[in-house]
Amino acid sequence: GAGVSQSPSNKVTEKGKDVELRCDPISGHTALYWYRQSLGQGLEFLIYFQGNSAPDKSGLPSDRFSAERTGGSVSTLTIQRTQQEDSAVYLCASNRLMDTQYFGPGTRLTVL
Amino acid sequence: DQQVKQNSPSLSVQEGRISILNCDYTNSMFDYFLWYKKYPAEGPTFLISISSIKDKNEDGRFTVFLNKSAKHLSLHIVPSQPGDSAVYFCAASSYSGAGSYQLTFGKGTKLSVIP
Judging contacts by C-beta atoms under 8 Å, the chain A residues touching residue B98 are 50, 53-54, 56
From the list B34, B43, B99, the residue facing A53 with the nearest CB is: B99
**Selected residue of B8, B64, B101 to mutate for chain A interface (largest A Cβ count, 10 A):** B101
Q: What are phi and psi of B84, to 5 degrees?
A: -80, -10
Query: Where do the DSSP E strands lie in chain A?
Result: 5-7, 10-13, 19-24, 31-37, 43-50, 65-69, 75-79, 88-95, 102-103, 107-111
Quote the pLDDT of residue A54: 84
Residue B70 to residues B31, B38, B44, B109: CA-CA distances in angstroms?
Answer: 14, 27, 27, 20
Residue B23 to residues A27, B43, B106: CA-CA distances in angstroms?
Answer: 33, 20, 8
Any idea what the Cα angle at residue A51 is, between residues A46 and A57, rounded to 5°? Answer: 25
| CA dist., res. B28 & res. B66, Å (int) | 13
User: Quick check: bond before B44 cis, omega within 30?
Assistant: no
Listed as ranges, residues in chain A with pLDDT below 70 are 1
Quote the pLDDT of residue A1: 56
Mean pLDDT of chain A: 92
Would you give the DSSP letter of residue A26? P
Quote the pLDDT of residue B99: 57
pLDDT digit string, tens, across residues B15-64: 999 999 999 999 888 989 999 999 988 899 999 999 999 999 999 999 99
Quote the pLDDT of residue B97: 59
